[in-house]
Structure 1
Amino acid sequence: MPTPLHYADSQVDTHAETGDESRKSVPLVVIHGLFGSADNWRSHVKAWQSVRRVIAVDLRNHGRSPHLAGMGYAEQAEDVVSLLDRLGIEQAHLLGHSMGGKVAISIAREYPQRVASLIVADIAPQAYGHDHDTVFAALRRVAEGKPANRREADKLLAEHVDERPVRLFLATNLERAEEGGLRLRLGLDEIEADYEAIMGAPAGQAPYGGPTLVLRGARSQYVTDAALPALREVLPDATIKTLDAGHWLHAEQPEAFREAVDEFLAALER
């Protein structure tokens, strides 16, 4: 059974001022990456909601969505499609970063009729090696340490993670506990138990032949030149654009990221 995902919905009628009901923009669905949430995309959603309806989702075991076993991409794709059904959205543009990009690719391959276009941020449709051991250790330390405030939480995270930007990102998963102090809102046990699936390839067998934009970071190793031939087998119509950024390109280069997305969508809707 699909997970009832938490989401933020801008509910903007983009042509209310003109009264031209025939030109309403197709909604944009934003899907975060591993250890992220819809909250990470607030500034982008605020910009995009002036021209279209934007739905930012919390994937299972992330943000405010339920915790349950299973992180496979077929399951996560079904979760998002079920949300589209609940919202009465027949077709949407999908934007996914990292793990969320694999979820978006899975939806495009298994439910192509629901996808108007695909935007994939710094991930390729392939399996990757394990590289989150220190992150899991840091989050476990926070869960065990039960910090009273964010300063204490940062000290606990720093025992395993040196990079302050990474610690700040991980700290977005903290929330106030009823008994006081801070706790993680992640389904950490469920994520770690099915980490192999997260590192695996997206679901689906057929290529997605619809309009696709792949944004990659010049300083990231997730979408290298060597990965492009295999990427094009899955996404044959992909336009590849490289930004001067690392893996979190939407946070490092927000204006350039939004400009690339806006140009891509505007070209489709002319």
Structure 2
Amino acid sequence: MGLAPAAVLGHSMGGAVAFHLARRRPDLVPALVVADMTTLNREPETRPVLDVTGRPRRVPSRGALREALEERGVPAGYFLDSAAEFEDGWGFLFDAGDMAASQENLTGDFTEVRNASAQPALLLRAARSFLLTPATARRMASERANTRLVEIPDCGHWIPTDAPGALARHVGAFLDGLSPAP
């Protein structure tokens, strides 16, 4: 599409993908924004896989789908954005096995990958994050040069839906503060 180079914003697993892209192709990524993703995406630091494979394929209502997720300890809000009513009941628009596999593929320690890039970076942490602890966020910001950490209050992991205005303000201010490209 000829749009590169471009600042890259990745949320959650997209943040891990952004770490890899920034390291492999710094020529394409002049600035990096990572929203609520840890470099320590593994137990015991966090619960890296929100497994929805064990829930019933179809249930009678959206509420029943929420209950099926919450019984398994999975935060339902985000997943319910991908819920739909089918002829045989309520279910997801994605394949649960594929979702679990993609999460498992992004399990591990990404510290080396993230720290191998040097472009300006903004790390956003949700104050009520279940994924990125305050200590890990501070460590991530301090051990990689050119990284700014911002915590978004009154917000859970899903920053784009929990706090879209705050996300836009912080990302806009970060990008506006960068030097113009040569």
CA distance in structure 1 between the aligned counterparts of 2:91 and 2:35, rounded to whole angstroms: 29
Matched, 1:224 2:160: no
Q: Which amino acid aligns with 1:191?
A: M
Q: Could you tell which deviates more after superposition, 112-121 or 122-131?
A: 122-131
Aligned length: 173
* Amino acid across the alignment from 2:81: T
Residues 174 and 183, structure 1, Cα contact 8 Å, conserved in 2: yes
- Alpha-carbon distance between aligned partners in 1 of 2:114 and 2:13, rounded to the nearest angstrom: 18
Q: Secondary structure at the match of 1:112?
A: coil
**2: distance between equivalents of 1:247 and 1:227?**
13
Instruction: Confirm whether residue 249 of structure 1 aligns to residue 165 of structure 2.
Output: no
The structure where strand makes up a greater share of residues is 2
How far residue 242 of structure 1 moved from its aligned partner, in angstroms, is: 1.4
Q: Give the gaps of 5 or more residues in structure 1.
A: 1-86
Larger RCO: Structure 1 or Structure 2 (Cα < 8 Å, ≥ 6 residues apart)?
2
Q: Which residue of the other structure, out of 143, 148, 151, is the alignment partner of 1:239?
A: 148
Q: How far does residue 263 in structure 1 lie from its aligned partner after superposition? A: 0.8
Contact 2:39–2:114 (Cα < 8 Å) also in 1 = no
Structure richer in helix, relative to its length: 1
Q: Residue in 1 aligned with 2:94?
A: 186
Q: What secondary structure sits across from 1:157 in the alignment?
A: helix
The 8 Å contact of residues 95 and 101 in structure 1, kept in 2 or not, is answered as yes
Q: Measure the CA separation in 1 of the matches of 2:94 and 2:136.
A: 34
- Per the alignment, residue 51 of structure 2 pairs with 136
- Percent of pairs identical after alignment? 26
Which residue identity is paired with 2:161? A
Q: Residues 215-254 of structure 1, C-alpha deviation per residue, up to 9 Å, x if partnerless?
A: 1122325142345335544x32101111112322333222
Which sections of structure 2, spanning at least 5 residues, go unmatched? none
Do the aligned partners of 1:117 and 1:211 also contact (CA within 8 Å) in 2? yes
Q: What is the TM-score of this pair, normalised by structure 2? A: 0.77
Amino acid of the structure 2 residue aligned with 1:168: G
- CA deviations 1:114-150 (Å, max 9, x no partner) are 10210111122233226367x524x54242xx235xx
Aligned-pair Cα RMSD in Å: 3.0
